[in-house]
Structure formats: C-alpha cells, structure tokens
C-alpha cells in the first residue's frame, strides 16, 4: 500500500514540478523572444534614422545660401523605404520644424515653420536629446540615452536621433524622428515542449513504476522511496535539459535570422543614402562610417560590417538576452526539482495537514500577520533586494536586474578597513569608516540601555515603597519625557547644550567652571546624545521595573530577612532574578530601538564633530538622502538588520538557556 502512495506522491511531484516550471519557462522564453524582437526592431528603426540623420547633417552643413529645407530629402527617404511611415526633422534654434510628413504636423501648417504652442512635446524631445548628448560628453561616461525609441500602440516604432552640423559636430542641433513599421517579425513560440515537460516525466515514471511493481515484489516497500526519488530527479533533469535547450536553440536561430535581416536593411540604407547624396548634391562621406547600427548611447555595436556582412559569432556569443534566459531556466529547474522533492517526500501533504490541523491558530494570527506582511515585510524585502543593486539617483528608472551589483555593496561596507588616517599632523580615526560607526553605535546602545535600565530600576525601587507619599505625583512627572513628542524635546536639549547661552554651561560657570563646547569633541558630543536619550528612555524602563517589582511576593523578602540576608543580598538574590523575565524582553526591544534611534542623533548632535558621532542608522540616512546612493544605503540598512538579528537570536538563546537552568 505504502509503495503506491510513495509512487503517487512522486508522480504528483513530477507533474506539479514539470507543470509549474514548464509554464514559467515558457513565459520566460516568450519574454526573451519578445525582448529580442523589440531590440532588433529598435535597431532597424535606428539604422534608418541614423542614416537619414547623416543626410540631414550633410544638408544642414551646407553654406547658408545653398541650404534648403529637408522636405524633399525626407520624401525621398520615405519613398526608398517602405517601412518608414513618417518623418520629422526638427531644429532647436528657433524651435523650428524643418520638415515633416506627420499628419498632425501638416494640419498645423506646412513646414518649415516655427513650432506651435501645442507642439511642446516635439520641442522638449529635442532639448532632452541635446542635453543628454552634452551630459554624456561632459562626463565622458554615457548614462543618458541619445537614441530614444518608443513603441506605439499600433505596433509601430518611433525612433529619434540627434543630428549635428559640421560647424558644431558635438552639439546636437536638432533631431530626426522616424515612425517605422518594423518588418522584422517572429513566429509563435512552439507550445508543445510545455506539454511534454508537464506530462511526460510523470507519465513515464508512473507507468514505469506500475510495470516494475508488477514484476518485482519488494520486501521493504519503504526503501523504494529513495530509489524512486533518485530516478524521478534524474528523469526530471533530463526533461528540463531538453526543454531548456529547445528554447535556447530556437532563440539563437531566430537571433541569427534577425541579424541577417538587419544586415540587408543596413545595405539598403547605405545604397539609398549614397543615391540620395548624389541626387541632392550633398557632400556626403559614407565610405568610412559604419555607425548607424548603434545602441541607445549612440555607441556603434559593430555587429555588421560596412559591406553588410555579419561578423563571425554574432547572434550566439555575448547575447545578454540568451544569457538571462539561460539563468531563468536554471532557476526554473531548481524550482521544479524543489517541488518534486517537496511533493515526493511528502512535504506537501504534511504542509497541508499542518494548515488544516492548526487552522484556528493561523486564523487568529492572520490579520496581524497580513498587516505586517504588506506594510512592513514587503518594503523590508524590497530594501534587501535593493541592497544587491547599484541604484542611485541617476538610474532609478532602470530595472533592478540591469543594475545588479551582487555583493559589491556589502564588500564595500565590510571590506573597508581604512580605519586610521595618517596625515602630516599625525594620525586620526577615519570617522567615515564603517567600523568606527559600528563601534560608536554599539557603545551608544550599550551605554544607553545600561543607563536606562539602571536609572529606571533605581527609581522603580525607590517608588516601590507602599508608604511613600506623593508617589503618584512622582510617577506622573517622571513619565513625562516619554509622553511629549521627542522632536520638540530633542531640540530643546540641543539648546541646553549650547556653549554660549546654554543653561548647562551657565550652571558650570555658576560653580566657577569653564564653559564646555559640547559638540566640539567626540567624547562630549557623545555625552550629549547619551544624556538626551537616557532622559527620553528611562521612563519606559522605570515603568517596566515598577511592574516587575510589584509581582514579587513580600513573603520572599520576609523569608530572606529571617535567614539574615542584608539589603544587598535581598536585591541580588531575590529582586534581580524575579525581574529578569520582565526585563529581558524589554531590554531586547530597547536595544533594537536604541540601535536605530534616529531622531536624537540627528536633532541633537547631528553626528558632530566631523561625523564621528554618527550611528549606523543616521549614516544610512545620509547615504540615501545626501549621497543619493540608494542601493548602498539599503545595504547599510541590511547590515544593521543582520547585526540586530544576530543579537536577537543570541539574546533569546541565552535567556532561554538561563530559564531552563533556573
């Protein structure tokens, strides 16, 4: 009986794993093909546009007298190329539309003419391209697109490239925009491999095991599980390999075909450009250029030679789309095998039973968990994802995969041991270094929490006196720092510490001391933070301790006194141990809160002097909002999180160990 159950499970695993990975893989393969087609189409449009831009260049570089509007030129270009539907040539100076065959433009008046108010977008695109060209040139590192393409709803493509003049070959004078109906298409992706992967392994396995079980009688049916698992995994891998390879090869073949078509297109463009140059008597040097086939930054791709031949290897090697698809398939395979193992070993069944058996508990936790999941853990996961990228202000619109940085951010943070600076004057700490900030943060947390706990405990002990008068009043007043908004009180504290007029320095002077410039040295500045945060946080600890103290039965003290224990011994052996269960969760939480206490540092010392009193959280904030390095800042946050996580796990382990000892 159990043999067939195992077989059933493995079969189900093969089916589910195959089904999920097949659909996912198909989705990826289709996406990759679509991406490849889109990429090729853009190249088609770009070649056409760049070639025309060269003609416009030649035309507009002529002497002022010979210059004509390029209306005839674009007409010629459109006649020569069936795929070109409409052309627009725009010049920035004077905001002029030099020539156009767009219907909208013609309705607004025949070019050449000045752009109308409603045609702002036409002008803005020119300015954008001009600015992008300038930026890339000035920074010597292309980051802004110089070829802008846009896919239209009707399947057409709009490609805009800047044109230049001989007078100023570095500054874009305007742009040429083409609306193209791309001729490059692709066929439907074959669907049958999906069905094969979903059904065949499961079917084969099931039939095979049926036959086997008829032929062989096993003494220990359970032992068959492992061999069944191994067989099924091998079967799965085999099928996955076939599946992946089919689509990868398919993509490669399509790619080669695309390149060939592009090469033909390129040759055609060159021929007509030469003819056009002759017809319009343009001084047009085509012989040396091969830079119509360019990427978005107008950098030549050099896949196609000047004669329209493909360079060897184009279409197979170095194809990012194919590489990415390969990686996606690898991921799908892992998923498939994971599902197979999960189902095959009975994990899914167990999982289901757990959900059903404990549904009441899950229902009770569900609302809170959902809220946390959506509003806390989701942004949190996004932050962690971001930490593996190089996202900055300048590339926020790029997909995260394109700016993937792996562990670079973490290496930069943790691998920087440049803790000490040596100058002519001597050596000093490098306050920008991660380890310095970590040291300060740990010191800050340890000191703050100790102070909070100590003061809180002392006050609680004092207030825990049944006969004390004005107890409620004391308690009420001592709780105030917790109740008032801390962004107000933190600023007041900053004023109290001012060197010239701060009451603290006045007090020091009252007793004949010298005023202290609190924010000028690392230590005193640290002290200010500690004071403010201690002031803010002791009420919480006091309340917790007060509560804890009241739960201790007075019998214990009585007994201790009878045994002759003194006050210290009573405190040491009764009060403290009884407080432990109260204090430990509170301490853990307050360590976490203090570690990430942004307001106090930010508002009081601001990390002065020289960023030495920065803690990790304020540093992460600065990295994001001053240096605009979002990925790096996210990595900083993740490091903070990991440190706290390690602390939390360690602390709970220790306290649990102590509990079980007790």
Partner 1 sequence: MSRKIKDESSPILIHVVLITFTAMTIYPLLWVLTIAFSGKQSLAIALLPENPTVWDRLRAIIPFPETVSLANFIEVITEKNFLVWMGNSAIVATLTTLLGVFLSCTAAYAFSRFKFPGQRAGLMSFLVSQMFPGTLMMVPLYIIVVQWLNLGNTFWGLILVYSTIAIPFCVWMLKGYFDTIPIEIEESAIMDGASRTVIFFRIILPLAKPAISVTALFSFMAGWNEFIIASLLMEEEKMYTAPVGLKFFVGEHATQWGSFAAGSIIVSVPVVLLFMYTQKYLVSGLTAGSVKG
Partner 2 sequence: MIQNRIKRLMVLCVLACCMSAPLAATELVVWHAYRGAEKEAFQAVCDQFSAQSDGVTVKTLAVPYDAYADKITAAVPRGKGPDVFIFAQDRLGGWIEAGNTVEPIDFYVDDEMRERFLDNTLDALTYRDIIYGLPLNFKCIALIYNKKMIDSPPKTSAELVALAKKHTNAEAGRYGLAYAYADFFFHAALMNGFNGGVFAPGPRPTLNRPENVKSVELILKWSKQDGILPAEPSNALITSLFNKGKAAMIFNGPWFLGEIDPSVDYALAPLPALDEAGGNPMKPWMTIEGVYVAAPSENKDAAFDLVNYLTGAEAGKVMALKGRQLPANKAVYQLEEVKKDPIMQAFVTQSKVAVPMPNLAEMSMFWSPATTAMNTIIRGTATPKDALDKAQVQVEKAVAKLRKQ
Q: Is 468 in the site for partner 1 (CB under 8 A)?
A: yes
Nearest to 525 by CA among 445, 618, 599, 604: 604
Q: Which does 611 bind (CB under 5 to 8 A by kind): partner 1, partner 2, none?
A: partner 2
Q: Coil, strand or helix: which one is 174?
A: strand
Q: Coil, strand or helix: which one is 161?
A: strand
In degrees, to the nearest 5, what angle opens at C-alpha 169 toward C-alphas 167 and 170?
130
Q: Is 291 in the site for partner 1 (CB under 8 A)?
A: no
C-alpha–C-alpha distance, residues 419 and 410, integer Å: 17
Binding mask 611-640 for partner 1 (x = CB under 8 A): ------x--xx--x--------xx--xx-x
Q: Which is closer to partner 1, CB of 258 or CB of 595?
A: 595
**Strand partners of residue 97:** 90, 113
CB 373 within 8 A of CB 391: no
Q: Is 438 in the site for partner 1 (CB under 8 A)?
A: no
Q: Coil, strand or helix: which one is 165?
A: coil
> Site residues for partner 1, window 34-63 (CB under 8 A)?
none
What minimum distance in Å lies between the beta carbon of 112 and partner 2? 17
C-alpha–C-alpha distance, residues 414 and 433, integer Å: 9
CB 61 within 8 A of CB 167: yes
Q: Which is closer to partner 1, CB of 127 or CB of 553?
A: 553
Q: Which does 128 bind (CB under 5 to 8 A by kind): partner 2, partner 1, none?
A: partner 2
Nearest to 288 by CA among 272, 273, 306: 306
DSSP 502-535: -HHHHHHHHTT-----TTTSHHHHHHHHHHHHHH
What minimum distance in Å lies between the beta carbon of 517 and partner 1? 17
Q: Is 249 in the site for partner 1 (CB under 8 A)?
A: no
Q: Is 415 in the site for partner 1 (CB under 8 A)?
A: no
Among 131, 195, 645, 654, binds partner 1 (CB under 8 A): 645
Nearest to 88 by CA among 106, 101, 69, 73: 101
Nearest to 246 by CA among 25, 40, 38: 25
What minimum distance in Å lies between the beta carbon of 196 and partner 2? 43
Q: Which is closer to partner 1, CB of 188 or CB of 360?
A: 360
Q: Which is closer to partner 2, CB of 475 or CB of 622?
A: 622
What minimum distance in Å lies between the beta carbon of 380 and partner 1? 5
Q: Which does 95 bind (CB under 5 to 8 A by kind): partner 1, partner 2, none?
A: partner 2
Tell me which DSSP letter residue 422 carries: E
Q: Is 506 in the site for partner 1 (CB under 8 A)?
A: yes
C-alpha–C-alpha distance, residues 315 and 494, integer Å: 65
Q: Which does 375 bind (CB under 5 to 8 A by kind): partner 2, partner 1, none?
A: partner 1
What minimum distance in Å lies between the beta carbon of 518 and partner 1? 15
Q: Coil, strand or helix: which one is 436?
A: helix
Q: Which does 410 bind (CB under 5 to 8 A by kind): partner 2, partner 1, none?
A: none
Q: Which does 123 bind (CB under 5 to 8 A by kind): partner 2, partner 1, none?
A: partner 2
> Site residues for partner 1, window 525-544 (CB under 8 A)?
535, 543-544
Q: Coil, strand or helix: which one is 86?
A: strand
- Candidate segments 38-46, 142-150, 274-282, 482-490, binder of partner 1 by CB under 8 A: 482-490
CB 111 within 8 A of CB 94: no
CB 443 within 8 A of CB 452: no
Q: Which is closer to partner 2, CB of 39 or CB of 412?
A: 412
Q: Which is closer to partner 1, CB of 241 or CB of 649?
A: 649
Q: Which does 230 bind (CB under 5 to 8 A by kind): partner 1, partner 2, none?
A: none
Tell me which DSSP letter residue 190 carries: P
C-alpha distances out from residue 199 to 15, 104, 204, 410, Å: 6, 54, 8, 44
Beta strands (DSSP E) in 137-246 are: 148-151, 157-163, 174-180
Residue 9: Cβ-neighbour burial (10 angstroms; 0-12, 13-18, 19+): buried
Q: Which is closer to partner 2, CB of 104 or CB of 222?
A: 104
| CA 126, chain centre distance (Å) | 32
Q: Coil, strand or helix: which one is 62?
A: coil
Nearest to 172 by CA among 53, 277, 289, 293: 53
Q: Which does 360 bind (CB under 5 to 8 A by kind): partner 1, partner 2, none?
A: partner 1
- In this structure, how many other beta carbons lie within 10 angstroms of the beta carbon of residue 396? 10
- Candidate segments 185-193, 252-260, 336-344, 505-513, binder of partner 1 by CB under 8 A: 505-513
401-406 LR contacts (CB < 8 Å, sep 24+) = 401/324, 403/631, 405/631
CB 158 within 8 A of CB 149: yes
Nearest to 53 by CA among 166, 183, 177, 150: 177
Q: Which does 640 bind (CB under 5 to 8 A by kind): partner 1, partner 2, none?
A: partner 1
Q: Which does 283 bind (CB under 5 to 8 A by kind): partner 1, partner 2, none?
A: none
What minimum distance in Å lies between the beta carbon of 142 and partner 2? 9
> Site residues for partner 1, window 375-404 (CB under 8 A)?
375-380, 382-383
What minimum distance in Å lies between the beta carbon of 6 and partner 2? 52
What is the radius of gyration, based on Cα positions, of the chain?
36
First to last CA, the chain: 49
What minimum distance in Å lies between the beta carbon of 402 and partner 1? 19
Q: Which does 548 bind (CB under 5 to 8 A by kind): partner 2, partner 1, none?
A: partner 1
- Candidate segments 118-126, 232-240, 276-284, 463-471, binder of partner 1 by CB under 8 A: 463-471
Among 38, 128, 479, 517, binds partner 1 (CB under 8 A): 479
Among 248, 335, 345, 463, binds partner 1 (CB under 8 A): 463
Q: Which is closer to partner 2, CB of 417 or CB of 501?
A: 501
Interface positions with partner 2 (CB under 8 A): 95, 115, 117-118, 120, 123-124, 127-128, 130-131, 134-135, 138-139, 141, 143, 390, 392-397, 403, 423, 425, 432, 495, 498-501, 517, 520, 608-611, 622, 625-629, 632
C-alpha–C-alpha distance, residues 618 and 625, integer Å: 10
> Site residues for partner 1, window 484-503 (CB under 8 A)?
484-489, 492-493, 495-496, 501, 503
Q: How many residues bind partner 1 (CB under 8 A)?
A: 95
Q: Which is closer to partner 2, CB of 12 or CB of 90?
A: 90
Q: Which does 130 bind (CB under 5 to 8 A by kind): partner 2, partner 1, none?
A: partner 2
> Site residues for partner 1, window 352-371 (CB under 8 A)?
354, 358, 360-362, 364-365, 367-369, 371
Residue 648: Cβ-neighbour burial (10 angstroms; 0-12, 13-18, 19+): middle
Q: Is 481 in the site for partner 1 (CB under 8 A)?
A: yes
> Site residues for partner 1, window 553-612 (CB under 8 A)?
554, 557-558, 561, 581-583, 585-586, 588-589, 592-593, 596, 598
């Amino acid at each position: 009986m159990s043999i067939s159950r195992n077989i059933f499970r493995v079969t189900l695993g093969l089916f589910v794993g195959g089904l999920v990975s097949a659909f996912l893989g198909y989705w990826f393969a289709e996406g990759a093909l679509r991406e490849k087609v889109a990429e090729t189409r853009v190249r088609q449009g770009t070649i056409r546009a760049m070639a025309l831009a060269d003609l416009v260049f030649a035309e507009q570089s002529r002497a002022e007298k010979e210059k004509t509007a390029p209306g005839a030129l674009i007409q010629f270009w459109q006649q020569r190329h069936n795929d070109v539907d409409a052309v627009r040539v725009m010049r920035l100076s004077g905001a002029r539309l030099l020539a156009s065959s767009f219907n909208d433009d013609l309705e607004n008046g025949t070019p050449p003419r000045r752009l109308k108010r409603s045609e702002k977008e036409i002008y803005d695109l020119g300015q954008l391209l001009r600015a992008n060209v300038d930026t890339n040139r000035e920074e010597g590192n292309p980051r802004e697109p110089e070829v802008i393409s846009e896919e239209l709803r009707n399947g057409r493509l709009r490609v805009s490239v800047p044109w230049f003049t001989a007078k100023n070959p570095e500054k874009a004078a305007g742009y040429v925009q083409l609306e193209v109906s791309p001729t490059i298409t692709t066929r439907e992706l074959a669907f049958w491999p999906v069905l094969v992967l979903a059904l065949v392994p499961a079917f084969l396995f099931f039939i095979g095991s049926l036959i086997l079980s008829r032929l062989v009688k096993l003494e220990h049916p359970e032992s068959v599980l492992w061999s069944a698992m191994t067989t099924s995994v091998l079967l799965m891998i085999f099928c996955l390999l076939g599946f992946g390879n089919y689509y990868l090869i398919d993509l490669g073949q399509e790619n080669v075909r695309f390149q060939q078509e592009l090469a033909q297109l390129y040759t055609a463009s060159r021929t007509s450009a030469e003819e056009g140059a002759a017809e319009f008597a343009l001084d047009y040097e085509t012989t040396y250029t091969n830079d119509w086939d360019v990427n978005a930054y107008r950098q030549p791709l050099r896949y196609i030679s000047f004669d329209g031949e493909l360079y060897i290897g184009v279409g197979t090697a170095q194809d990012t789309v194919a590489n990415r698809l390969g990686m996606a398939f690898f991921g799908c395979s892992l998923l498939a095998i994971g599902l197979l193992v999960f189902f095959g070993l009975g994990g899914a069944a167990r999982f289901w039973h757990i959900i059903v058996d404990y549904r009441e508990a899950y229902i009770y936790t569900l609302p809170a968990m959902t809220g946390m999941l959506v509003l806390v853990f989701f942004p949190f996961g996004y932050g962690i994802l971001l930490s593996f990228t190089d996202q900055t202000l300048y590339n926020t619109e790029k997909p995260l995969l394109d700016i993937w940085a792996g562990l670079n951010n973490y290496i930069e943070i943790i691998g920087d041991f440049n803790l000490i600076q040596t100058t002519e004057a001597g050596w000093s700490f490098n306050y920008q270094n991660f380890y310095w900030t970590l040291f300060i943060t740990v010191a800050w947390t340890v000191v703050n929490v100790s102070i909070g706990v100590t003061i809180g405990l002392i006050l609680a002990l004092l207030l825990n006196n049944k006969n004390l008068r004005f107890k409620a009043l004391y308690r009420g007043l001592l709780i105030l720092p917790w109740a008032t908004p801390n962004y107000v009180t933190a600023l007041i504290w900053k004023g109290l510490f001012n060197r010239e007029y701060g009451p603290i320095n006045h007090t020091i002077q009252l007793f004949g001391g010298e005023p202290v410039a609190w924010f000028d040295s690392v230590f005193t500045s640290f002290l200010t933070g500690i004071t403010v945060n201690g002031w803010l946080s002791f009420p919480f600890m006091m309340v917790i301790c007060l509560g804890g103290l009241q739960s201790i039965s007075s019998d214990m003290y009585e007994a201790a006194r009878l045994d002759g224990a003194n006050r210290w011994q009573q405190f040491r052996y009764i009060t403290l141990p009884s407080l432990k269960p109260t204090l430990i969760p509170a301490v853990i939480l307050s360590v976490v809160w203090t570690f990430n206490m942004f307001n106090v540092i930010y508002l009081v010392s601001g990390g002065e002097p020289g960023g030495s009193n920065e803690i990790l959280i304020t540093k992460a904030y600065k990295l994001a909002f001053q240096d605009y390095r979002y990925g790096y800042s996210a990595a900083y946050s993740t490091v903070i999180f990991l440190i706290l996580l390690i602390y939390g796990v360690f602390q709970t382990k220790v306290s649990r160990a102590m509990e079980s000892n007790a």
